[in-house]
Chains A and B, each alone.
Chain A
Amino acid sequence: MTTAALDRLDPQARAAARGWSDIKIRNMFIIPTILFLIVFNIFPLLYSLGYSFTDFRASVNAPASFIGLENYRRLLSDPNIWRNFTVTAKYVIVSVGGQMIVGFGVALLLNRAFPFKGFVTTLLLLPMMMSMAVVGLFWKLLYDPSWGIINYALGLGRFDWLSNPDMALYAVAITDIWMWSPFVMLLSLAGLSAVPKHLYEAAAIDRASSWYTFTRITLPLVSPLLLIALIFRTMEAFKSFDLPFIMSGQPTTEVIAIRLYKMAFQEWQTGLSCALAYIMLIVVIAITNVYIKYLNRVKER
């Protein structure tokens, strides 16, 4: 792999006489998407930003008045909000961590030839093909101590998962892991299949330990796609609403998106909820930035 050959094609040098120029192609490929996304996102972003400095309530016919940073002050000094953020952080770590481990683990197992491989892989993807609302509803039933099959299968008797403040978050996270590990698995599998076979053969000839092969060959080559899976799962888990909202009412599972939902759609505190949305946005941007820095470092290797 000579890195020099992988350098960007130079549009100036390559402006081929034949067909469209590279610059024209580039613009045609990129600009519509960017414009489309700008049109679709600028209005909601500006709307939210503007109202986050007001006491606007959408449900009342009163004009919004400018209150500066009052909403932000109120939110950041509210211990409940901080609790919601703590719960969210815990939820993201447990469920995304679990998904990465289970998903990548299963992908390693699947990354070999065996009969009905395509069929088995499709079956493994089924959990993520359902809607969150339905999954939440059915898992609530699965966890039920009186008629759920989980306690029956595990012989746990009347063990209470979802009304138990210490257990509820893990129970919801297990559901999330069940549902989204397949996502990580599929991306990992795509990454694994791209690892050149000859690298493994070379390692085998050198009698490298399997640990060495795994950490020095497999992981580095899979990590870009693994990181993309991690970025998207983190973003989604940070926003997650349906599963915790449907499955449990415990304060220990009240993630920030639930608070935001109540604020925006039940209480119609539009201004305040816009401010909360911006706080969330800033947190997500910070987290993803760290990931992306790391992703770029990994890619440069």
Chain B
Amino acid sequence: MAAVQTSRQRLANRLAIAAVIVVTLIFLAPIYWIGSTAFKPRALATTVPPTVLFQPEITPFIKLFTKRVQLTRPVEEEVYEAAPWWERRIYDGGERVLRVGDSVQLSGYPDRFKNSLIVAVTSTLLAVSMGTLTAYGFSRFRVPGEQDWLFFILSTRMLPPVVVAIPMFLMYRAVGMTDTHIGLIILYTAFNLSFSVWLMKGFIDEIPKEYEEAALVDGYTRMQAFFKIVLPEATTGIAATAVFCFITAWNEYAFALMLTNRDAQTAPPFIPAQVGSGLTDWTAIAAGTFLFLLPVAIFTFLLRNHLLRGMSFGAIRK
């Protein structure tokens, strides 16, 4: 009887894995398509049926990193011949690179990418650490008006950014925080905190208190118990929270646009805006999207085992 059960289970398992493969392929199709567009010649971006086999190019990335303008007619032969290989790629696309004197002008992308990194990494660290501490506080101690405070924390994420943007803009102007990294970092931390607290509380609530109590009996202080018992058990939750916070901060658009100008502007408002003189360059947008996806994807991939490890307490608690 038991053998039948397991063979049925095995079949179910196989079917489930087959389904996982199908689902993954469906979910990835658009991503594959964006990723492949980042390496396509411009003319192949909108073909039907979609071009699957093609000679990959890095022209989209050259475009992404340079400031260009449309030419109304092909450039003269001599100029073309004298140009370096990468600049010829731009000429081939019907554009020319902007220069000041002799130096090539870079697009906003590299600086914005750097700003995105600074802002997203710092604000994620802050939001996750503050969120974890606060969640622990709410989970383990009596807090007067606990439910109301938790609801207040949640409510900070309820107003649409459109409404908050104007008062925020005025507030930031008043204290001179517009167009600064620190301004965006603080804002994204505040924005992610509500999520971080709620999610971490969900995870910490699941960690049984017996272990901490046992540690206290063994002579640990409360802080030691928190750092040595609770935190390691909460790694899954911390990893998941960090991934979500990083993604949110990394892609935030509305406030980045309103609150920054030239020094601290992040990449999301830049990527879809490459319209040049009125033609969407899908390849350059795809290149920008592709590169911008890499840091989050790598970050998530590095944390994958923590995301999946599950909580050992869950498995052993009685």
Contacts and interface: CB of A to CB of B under 8 A. Distances in A.
Q: Is A bound to B?
A: yes
A132 to B, nearest CB: 7
Nearest to B174: A43
A6 B208 contact: yes
B247 interface: yes
A132 B251 contact: yes
B232 interface: no
B167 interface: yes
* Residue of A6, A131, A281 contacting most chain B CB atoms (<10 Å): A131
B156 A125 contact: no
A90 to B, nearest CB: 18
A117 B308 contact: yes
A16 B315 contact: no
B133 interface: yes
Interface in A25-52: 25-26, 28-30, 32-34, 36-37, 40-41, 43-45, 47-48
B167 A235 contact: no
Contacts of A239: 158, 160-161
Contacts of A16: 216, 221-222
A129 interface: yes
A116 to B, nearest CB: 10
Contact of A142 (B33, B236, B309): B33
B168 A11 contact: no
Contacts of B31: 126-127
A32 B221 contact: no
Given A8-B141, A232-B195, A137 B253 contact: no
A65 B6 CA distance: 75
Contact of B209 (A6, A183, A187, A225): A6
Interface stretch (B11-19, B57-65, B70-78): B11-19
A1 B209 CA distance: 11
* Residue of B219, B304, B305 contacting most chain A CB atoms (<10 Å): B304
Interface in B209-250: 209-210, 212-213, 216, 219-224, 226, 236-237, 240, 243-244, 247, 250
Interface residues of B, number: 115
Nearest to B135: A29
Given A33-B193, A152-B48, A26 B247 contact: no
* Residue of A20, A129, A228, A239 contacting most chain B CB atoms (<10 Å): A129
B3 interface: no
Interface stretch (B20-28, B86-94, B97-105): B20-28
B293 A130 contact: yes
A173 B105 CA distance: 40
Interface residues of A, number: 107
B259 to A, nearest CB: 13
A126 B296 CA distance: 9
* Residue of B203, B212, B268, B300 contacting most chain A CB atoms (<10 Å): B300
Interface stretch (A68-76, A161-169, A193-201): A193-201
Contacts of A131: 250-251, 253, 268, 271, 292
B221 A20 contact: yes
A196 B130 contact: no
B47 to A, nearest CB: 7
A280 interface: yes
A270 interface: yes
B193 A36 contact: yes
A33 B197 contact: yes
B244 A273 contact: no
A281 B159 contact: yes
Contacts of B268: 131, 133-134
B155 interface: yes
Nearest to B132: A29
28 contacts: A1-B318, A8-B140, A8-B142, A29-B133, A33-B130, A34-B134, A36-B130, A36-B193, A37-B153, A37-B156, A114-B13, A120-B24, A121-B304, A122-B297, A122-B300, A126-B31, A128-B247, A131-B268, A133-B269, A134-B268, A138-B289, A190-B236, A193-B311, A196-B316, A231-B198, A260-B160, A277-B163, A281-B159
Given A33-B130, A149-B33, 4 more contacts: A25-B223, A119-B304, A277-B159, A292-B154
Interface of B: 5, 13, 16-17, 19-20, 23-24, 27-31, 33-34, 46-50, 130-131, 133-134, 136-138, 140-143, 147, 149, 151-164, 166-168, 170-171, 186-187, 189-190, 193-195, 197-199, 202-203, 205-206, 208-210, 212-213, 216, 219-224, 226, 236-237, 240, 243-244, 247, 250-251, 253, 268-269, 271-272, 280, 282, 285-286, 289, 292-293, 296-297, 300-301, 304-305, 307-311, 314-318
Interface of A: 1, 5-6, 8-11, 14, 16, 18-20, 22-23, 25-26, 28-30, 32-34, 36-37, 40-41, 43-45, 47-48, 58, 106, 108-110, 112, 114, 117-134, 137-139, 141-142, 146-149, 152-153, 178, 182-183, 186-187, 189-190, 193-197, 204, 224-225, 228, 231-232, 235, 239, 241-242, 257, 260-261, 264-265, 270, 273-274, 277, 280-281, 284-285, 288-289, 292, 296, 299
